[in-house]
Amino acid sequence: MTKKPFVTKEQLDEIVKTYPTPFHIYDEKGIRENAKALKEAFSWNKGYKEFFAVKATPNPFLMEILKEYGCGTDCSSKTELMLSEACGFGQGEIMFSSNETPASEYIYADKIGGIINLDDITHIPYLEKALGKLPKTLSLRYNPGGVFTIANGIMDNPGDAKYGFTTEQLFEGYRMLKDKGVERFGMHSFLASNTVTNEYYPVLAKLLFETAVKIKEECGVTIDFINLSGGIGIPYRPDQEPNDIRLIGAKVKEVYDEVLVPAGMGDVAIYTELGRFMMGPYGHLVTTAIHEKHTHKEYIGCDACAVNLMRPAMYGAYHHITVAGKEDAPCDHKYDIVGSLCENNDKFAIDRMLPEIEIGDKLIIHDTGAHGFSMGYNYNGKLKSAELLLKEDGSVKLIRRAETPKDYFATFDCFDIFNKLDFEA
């Protein structure tokens, strides 16, 4: 498979006249088609709802698009809750799957109608104390421990993950909730990240469904919703086969019919909290080659850096790169594509075969629509880029302006910095 960008060189040449590089650009058409496909894949389940993981791409314009397809939001912090509220998400449309959460954030989540998903058994009394009483609806996050495997190998290592209740704690937790008057119960689990296989959700679903049946039998608690959380991946590499969401939906249904329906639990709602799958492929980071360096290796220096996209530096993650306008040129040059941070891991690609790059070429870094812009930081005093939306009609809309030095220094008002510098200079 070749990976084709959703913008052409001609479009980019036009866009940079108004919005200089670097910037993230998102593809409205792709986002909509994917959201629709997901909704259809789970339409067999009456209560189905996707709660978009805001941390992947916290932009209100994109969240509003997903809202049109019935999505809610999944939040990990107060500011994400605030953003959800600002977009008009309300009662029952916000999941708060946080961890190590301050009391004030639980209070806020409860106030705006969020569903709280607790990460630990000790958080039950903590929440009760914070709110005065427990909410009517509560969800618990399950971590069975050990190693999570599917037919073709190890997926991840939940036994090493800081999240969730153990099996024993989970059963005890539901008993506690029932005793304390909770009326609606949810179960959540996130066992593997970026799974590029159609097996992950069905295997996870089977585990959770069987656990839910046991909880009904042993605790007398009927689970109302099961949250399969995030983890459906995307093909970052050109040789990877994309997930088939319709097949995944159908396979989850099979397990549902096999495990839940015979147990008299045929009205359990399925929730998902996808982030990467919803947005990842529909974002590009566009950057300009501004330097070339011939030393012990061949380097191309660009005007973006790890501040704009941290995944390669943080996880050694692969992001495909297209040189705009050279889509069909032979990849006969080997480069390290690097940013300007004083950190040697600030490399978008290492030993990557690409067409010959000239200064001024636009590089399109693929699959930056999730956990891209949002992971950004301000190291080396670097400013965060703009975010643009390529609309279905081909026009471009600014959905977040680039940071300015004024934004960067905003928290130095205690130093009276705004009277010491000329910000127009």
Give residues in contact with ligand PLP (CB under 6 A): 53, 55-56, 74, 76, 97, 190, 193-194, 229-231, 273-277, 370
Q: What are phi and psi of 179, to 5 degrees?
A: -60, -30
Q: Are 164 and 141 in contact (CB under 8 A)?
A: yes
Q: Which is nearer to ligand PLP, 186 or 275 (CB)?
A: 275
What's the min distance (Å) between Cβ of 98 and ligand PLP? Answer: 8
What's the min distance (Å) between Cβ of 77 and ligand PLP? Answer: 11
Q: Which is nearer to ligand PLP, 37 or 383 (CB)?
A: 37
Q: Which is nearer to ligand PLP, 117 or 137 (CB)?
A: 117
Q: Which is nearer to ligand PLP, 274 or 363 (CB)?
A: 274
Whole-number Å distance between alpha carbons of 425 and 422: 6
Cβ-proximal residue to ligand PLP, closest one: 230
What's the min distance (Å) between Cβ of 423 and ligand PLP? Answer: 36
Q: Which is nearer to ligand PLP, 30 or 325 (CB)?
A: 30
What's the min distance (Å) between Cβ of 76 and ligand PLP? Answer: 6
What's the min distance (Å) between Cβ of 47 and ligand PLP? Answer: 18
Q: Which is nearer to ligand PLP, 6 or 190 (CB)?
A: 190
What's the min distance (Å) between Cβ of 236 and ligand PLP? Answer: 12
